[in-house]
Amino acid sequence: MEYKFKYRFSFIDRQNESLKIMSQYPDRIPIICERSDLTSDDCPFIDKKKYLVPRVLNVAQFIHVIRKRMKISEEKALYLFIKGNIPSSSLMIETLYNYYRDDDGFLYVLYSFENTFGWALDKPLKVTYLTFLRTKY
């Protein structure tokens, strides 16, 4: 799992930025949230990669923030990955930050989604008795 943000900026630049953020906002956590390379092509890119979230926010609330920015429908399940792990939705962001933060001071998160409640059809589904028999037998 690669984070494009790490390739765009040097370690020193990233570390200086996170230290500056943490000194200005000690009650917030700097997060870099990027689209996973392993997700499907229909997963949209998010318009903002840097987030400054309250320490008391839990994962479910952060997912809600990401969903709103992406403007995705309800049937799409959004998954977050932190160093290859899917965090529990009840975990506090501060706990994840203390455990998974990078050496530069940021918490790196990848997102992906799956279609959980069926799929959206472009055209009405037309099922005939013959196609039913072919799929059943």
pLDDT of residue 32: 95
Domain boundaries, the chain: 4-136
- Token pair 């099922």 is found at 127
Give one DSSP letter per residue of 75-137, joined into a string. TEEEEEEBTTB---TTSBHHHHHHHH--TTSPEEEEEEEEE-S----SS-----HHHHHHHH-
pLDDT for 131 beyond 80: no
Least confident window among 19-28, 45-54, 65-74:
65-74
pTM of the entire predicted model? 0.78
Which is nearest to 90 in space by CA: 49, 67, 56? 56
Whether 103 shows a pLDDT value over 90: the answer reads yes
Residue 108 pLDDT greater than 50, yes or no: yes
Say whether domain 4-136 belongs to CATH 3.40.50.2000.
no
